[in-house]
Amino acid sequence: MRLTDYDGANIAYFMSSNAHKTAARRLTDAKRVVVKVGSTLLVDAEKGRLNRAWLETFTADVARLRKRGQEVILVSSGSIALGRRHLGLGAGKLKLEESQAAAAVGQIRLAHAYKELLDHHELTVAQILLTFEDTEVRRRYLNARGTLNTLLSLGSVPVINENDTVATAEIRYGDNDRLAARVAQMIGADCLVLLSDIDGLYSADPAEQPDATFIAEVHEITAQIEAMAGGVSSAMGSGGMQTKIAAAKIAMGAGCHLCIAKGAYQHPLKRIEDGARCTWFVPSSTPVAMRKQWIAGSLKPAGAVRVDEGAVKALRGRKSLLPAGVTGTSGSFGRGDTISVLGPDGTEVARGICAYSDKDAARIMGRKSREIEALLGFRGRDEMVHRDDLVLMTN
Ligand code: GLU
């Protein structure tokens, strides 16, 4: 849905409440939703205490999404803001070691609050603390992704934060907007909601320019959009509008919708569904399509596997590649690398992300998936290349 095109640019300035309600289907129809909760919502600015009454209404929203069958992942800030009071750290900017200490104290309280409140809805909370390398280094990325997928398939609600206690200034996100976008990208989420202290993107900082125009929808992040983000910053959290735009870039590149909405109301997600004003960033494609596009575009696959006729047929019928159909491997590749799938005559039939290294692939090829554990000593994926990670090559 594109409402008002401005100057041919990919921006919609005005949307009625009804149009916002329609736009909110991106949230209600999403299978996997990531919600980022900013510090300002969770922690009372003056007293430095957890804003429990608000969190109760928010967790009730989360429970409603779960009841509808949606998977929900929370990326929650607030550990530093919560912990500093308990350590007697006054107002003002903290030194790195102080914020690391505050995070250690605050995180346990934060996790406890989520646990207690989601317990009321019979939802199991899982805490995950990520470092920058967990999303940027391939092997760790795959591990984090695997754990998150398992937790979701078992019906729990992961609550994620940066592991601020061990993160150092040089290698950290520092803001949870981008972290949330990386998480959304990692697990192929279709919707990411950034709940913050501002209701969306404006043509200029509304605190400085009261006549700044609200932007309801963005289809492409142009230089004009980046300029709008300027230096708008938040009182307590680390993110400003710039980190939200950076997050939107990551999300859109992964085929994920992103919404910036004001969270300082009771039932903030319900409010979005009911048509409250917010800014939507709309990708041109879906997460699976974006992923496939990326796989197809891998310039140089790390290696290849050769498969038999039966496997070629299965792949053309949109099935996954099982070890049983593989007859040989070549090149050196790791788990998670892109490989070529070659037919019996050596032509490239498909390209995909391999769930095994070349050595493990060689050990399990030609065998049944149920033999994998006995052959490798661990129970990996049944598929050598899952169909969601596979693109057929048209010759
Ligand atoms: N990870 C930080 C915390 O939990 C917050 C980062 C942010 O404000 O975005 O306190």
DSSP letters along 307-352, please? E-HHHHHHHHTTPPBPGGGEEEEEE---TT-EEEEE-TTS-EEEEE
Mutating to test ligand 1, I would choose from 34, 35, 36, 39 the residue with most ligand atoms within 8 A of its C-beta, which is: 39
Look at residue 219 and give its three-state secondary structure: coil
Which residue's C-alpha comes closest to atom 6 of ligand 1? 175
Look at residue 235 and give its three-state secondary structure: coil
* pLDDT of amino acid 233: 52
CB of residue 83 inside a 6 A radius of ligand 1: no
Q: Give 97 Cα–ligand 1 centroid separation in angstroms.
A: 15
CB of residue 196 inside a 6 A radius of ligand 1: no
Which residue's C-alpha comes closest to atom 2 of ligand 1? 77
Indicate the pTM of the whole model: 0.84
Which residue's C-alpha comes closest to atom 4 of ligand 1? 77
CATH 3.40.1160.10 spans which residues of the chain? 2-285
Which residue's C-alpha comes closest to atom 5 of ligand 1? 77
Considering the domain 297-392 in this protein, what is its CATH number?
2.30.130.10
Cα(219)–Cα(13) distance, rounded to whole angstroms?
A: 12
Q: Give 164 Cα–ligand 1 centroid separation in angstroms.
A: 8
Structure tokens at 215: 């932007």
CATH architecture of the domain covering 2-285: 3-Layer(aba) Sandwich (3.40)
CB of residue 80 inside a 6 A radius of ligand 1: yes
* pLDDT of amino acid 3: 41
CB of residue 243 inside a 6 A radius of ligand 1: no
CB of residue 240 inside a 6 A radius of ligand 1: no
230 within 8 A of 223, measured Cβ to Cβ: no
Chain centre distance of CA 394: 31
Inter-residue long-range contacts of 346-350, CB under 8 Å, 24+ positions, other chains counted: 346/306, 347/395, 348/304, 348/393, 348/395, 349/307, 349/312, 349/315, 349/316, 349/392, 349/393, 350/315, 350/321, 350/385, 350/390, 350/391, 350/392, 350/393
Within 10 A of 152 (CB to CB), how many other CB atoms are there?
17
Point out the ligand 1 atom lying closest to the alpha carbon of residue 36.
9
| Residue (of 16, 15, 21, 11) closest to 272 by Cα position | 21
CATH 2.30.130.10 spans which residues of the chain? 297-392
pLDDT in tens, the chain (395 residues): 344 444 445 677 778 888 888 999 999 999 999 999 999 999 998 888 999 999 999 999 999 999 999 999 999 999 999 999 999 998 888 999 999 999 999 999 999 999 999 999 999 999 999 998 888 777 788 889 989 999 999 999 999 999 998 887 777 888 899 999 999 999 999 999 999 988 999 988 888 888 889 999 999 999 888 888 875 555 555 558 999 999 999 999 999 999 999 999 999 999 999 999 999 999 988 888 888 887 887 768 889 999 999 999 999 999 999 999 999 999 999 888 889 999 999 999 999 999 999 999 999 999 999 999 999 999 889 999 999 889 998 75
